[in-house]
Amino acid sequence: MKPHQPPKTKSQLAVLSALSLSLVVAACGGGGGSAGSAAGATQLKATTLTGAAKDNPIAGAVITITTGAPLNDAGASTAGTITADSSGAFTVNVPLPTTSVPVFANATDPSNSFVILSSYLGQSDKLGTAGTLTTANLPDLEISPVTTAALAVYAQLNGNSYATLTPTTYASTLQTYWNDILAISAAIKAVGDNLCTPGTTLTTSTNLAANIAAGSNLSSGSSTTLQTAATALGGNCPTVLATLPMQIAADPDFGPELHVGDVIDANLVSVPAGTYQLQGVIAETGMMAPASGSITVSTLTFVPASIFVDAAITIDSTGAVTSTDKQVSGTLVGNLLTLNVTNGTGTGAPAYTLRGKIGQIPSALTTGGNAYAIQSGGTNNATQVLTNFEAVLAPAAVSPSWTGIASLPAASSHGVSCAAGSTPLRLDTFGTTLGGGSIGECITPTATGWTMAAPTSGAAYYFDDSQASSSTATPPTLTAPTWSEVTGATAAPFIISDSSATYTQNGTPVTGTTYYVLGTRLVIFASASANNVLAMHESALGHMAEGEAHAMPGASMEGSGSQDH
């Protein structure tokens, strides 16, 4: 039975995975609106959008720009439509209101009615004055599973209305519902890559996303998004959903869309110029972008997660990133950080090309000044294996304050119960050896890290319903009692680790080393054969905020931005 025609190849979803738009703004009619100049009418400003569907593009993809709401939603008004050429390229001139209304880019595949994807670009008035924008400085200009999932979550939480959508509320949705957006985007991508077939009533990708968001208890503090996604997709999809989220988080296009908001101000960076130390964890996923019908696992030699430290990173007033030992180079535009990192000699081609978001760590977690957390992903340049890079950028005088965890604002416990003095933490497990579970933990901060213990109750289950109902299945557990700052030759006090962690799944223990970088959302679990991730549900630990916006010479302060801006 074929209630719809699922995508046959990854190429049919290229606009899902990499559609870049650049906005070049031009005023019409000598500075006035091109339409609506009569008294009382909405003033319009002509905006030219030039884009391309990269990487196996969808020939003839239909690109629709809407205001007010995404395509096919109540309140959507079409500003312009164009058909992409055989290479996926397009240019469309659209009139956008000079008042502040949300603007969306939408993509449909004319050969497959299931594929409808949407992305929030920002407010019309700010887009009309921002100048030139591309995915190099505004990741949410991509139409992707992540942007579609984020809008589904926002709509579910706001009565299916976009009336109050702004860059700030969008950024808040990303921060609070990060795990839920990740899970829904994995479900969309699973169907797009022909790995799963949804139920017969779920006829479009936007409908699938809305269905999962509606059934996931988002507002209760104990969301069931992964379980709901597994039920909606059925078949082998629980196994797929155990690996795809890790891949999405490490993807250099999708990953940045999961974190913080976007600063679209011209010539601004979110971190002040100066000299910093960089401390991070490089963790290859062992996966590459999936071919149609499969998760592509690298057959290359496994590369265990490793600590990366560079004590002399310089960010100048233009956002250029360099290092004294030449191991690191890159560019910071707004809060989007692109890095080339050589993990070793500092000579030759960079070992990794990474792209992600940077944001200020809560001040309660640092001493001596501000530090900045980096959530990024990319590829090993030689093997093209997707790689997570969780890191901190901090001035030499700034130190972590792990005991500050106790003073962070209380977040949802997600059903995890802990004794007084401990902070509840819920973690979803992803990867080739740990994937498929959700566990609860209690952390108690110490001067040099934290201790971890099992909760008194809550959040230990598999999101695969068939496993959970099995008579032999037991809830997953993580035993990693003492997490301490990394010391030695590559001392990294912003990173804590436990070298004797044990993750038990269905009664089978897996030993490894855990790493956590202060201010980030992912815990890395490195076993003998794979690097895996454990993703934190809403926790003030991972609530990065955009720091004070720092203008380059001649900068314009107009733009949408999100937080602390």
Residues 427 and 522 in one domain: yes
pLDDT at residue number 495: 98
pLDDT at residue number 237: 80
Residues 396 and 440 in one domain: no
- Other CB atoms closer than 10 Å to residue 513's CB: what's the count? 18
Scan for tokens 């037991």, then name that residue. 474
pLDDT at residue number 550: 59
Residues 297 and 326 in one domain: yes
Q: Which two tokens stand for residue 498?
A: 């436990």
Residues 315 and 204 in one domain: no
Buried-exposed string 90-101: b where 16+ CB fall within 10 A, e elsewhere = bebbbbbbbeeb
Residues 235 and 319 in one domain: no
Does 329 reside within a domain? yes
CA dist 138 → 294, 490, 499 (Å)? 30, 34, 38
pLDDT at residue number 19: 38
Backbone φ and ψ for 381, nearest 5 degrees, come out as -60, -30
Does 287 reside within a domain? no
Does 428 reside within a domain? yes
Closest CA to 378 of 347, 349, 345, 356: 356
Please tell me the distance from the alpha carbon of residue 242 to that of residue 438, in angstroms, as a whole number.
Answer: 11
Closest CA to 560 of 219, 206, 122: 122
Residues 452 and 515 in one domain: yes
pLDDT at residue number 212: 95
pLDDT at residue number 564: 34
Query: Where is 508: in which H helix or E strand?
Result: strand 508-517
Scan for tokens 């057959």, then name that residue. 299
Please tell me the distance from the alpha carbon of residue 372 to that of residue 390, in angstroms, as a whole number.
Answer: 11
Please tell me the distance from the alpha carbon of residue 209 to that of residue 190, in angstroms, as a whole number.
Answer: 12
Does 408 reside within a domain? no
Residues 94 and 194 in one domain: yes
Bin 327: left if φ > 0, else alpha if -120 < ψ < 50, else beta: alpha
Q: Tell me, what amino acid is at 561? A: G
Please list the pLDDT of the chain residue by residue as tens digits (565 residues).
333 344 434 344 444 343 334 333 333 322 223 333 333 346 776 665 565 443 345 667 788 989 999 999 999 999 988 887 776 566 667 788 889 999 998 888 777 778 788 989 888 888 776 656 666 667 677 788 899 999 999 999 999 999 999 998 999 999 889 999 999 999 988 887 778 888 778 889 999 999 999 999 887 778 889 888 988 887 668 778 888 999 999 999 889 999 888 776 656 778 999 999 999 999 999 888 655 445 666 667 788 999 999 999 999 999 999 999 889 999 998 899 999 998 865 565 669 999 999 999 999 999 999 999 999 999 999 888 999 999 999 999 999 999 999 988 776 778 888 988 899 999 999 988 887 888 999 999 999 999 999 998 877 777 764 454 444 567 789 999 999 999 998 899 999 999 999 998 878 899 999 999 999 999 999 999 999 999 998 787 887 776 655 554 444 333 333 333 3
Residues 142 and 84 in one domain: yes
Residues 20 and 43 in one domain: yes
Give the predicted TM-score (pTM) of the model. 0.88
Residues 328 and 387 in one domain: yes
Please tell me the distance from the alpha carbon of residue 368 to that of residue 361, in angstroms, as a whole number.
Answer: 13
Does 14 reside within a domain? yes
Strand-pair category, 112-123 with 102-109:
antiparallel
The count of domains in the chain is 3
CATH at residue 382: 2.40.128
Q: What is the DSSP letter of 133?
A: B
Please tell me the distance from the alpha carbon of residue 140 to that of residue 453, in angstroms, as a whole number.
Answer: 38
Residues 394 and 443 in one domain: no
Sequence-ordered strand ranges (E) for 286-436:
306-315, 320-323, 328-333, 336-341, 352-360, 366-367, 372-380, 386-394, 399-400, 423-430
Please tell me the distance from the alpha carbon of residue 345 to that of residue 503, in angstroms, as a whole number.
Answer: 34
Closest CA to 180 of 154, 141, 142, 207: 154
CA dist 119 → 69, 148, 531 (Å)? 10, 6, 31
Q: Are the CB atoms for 13 and 127 separated by under 8 Å?
A: no
pLDDT at residue number 432: 84
Residues 447 and 382 in one domain: no
Does 1 reside within a domain? no
Does 120 reside within a domain? yes
What domain range includes position 332? 268-282+292-403+545-551
Does 446 reside within a domain? yes
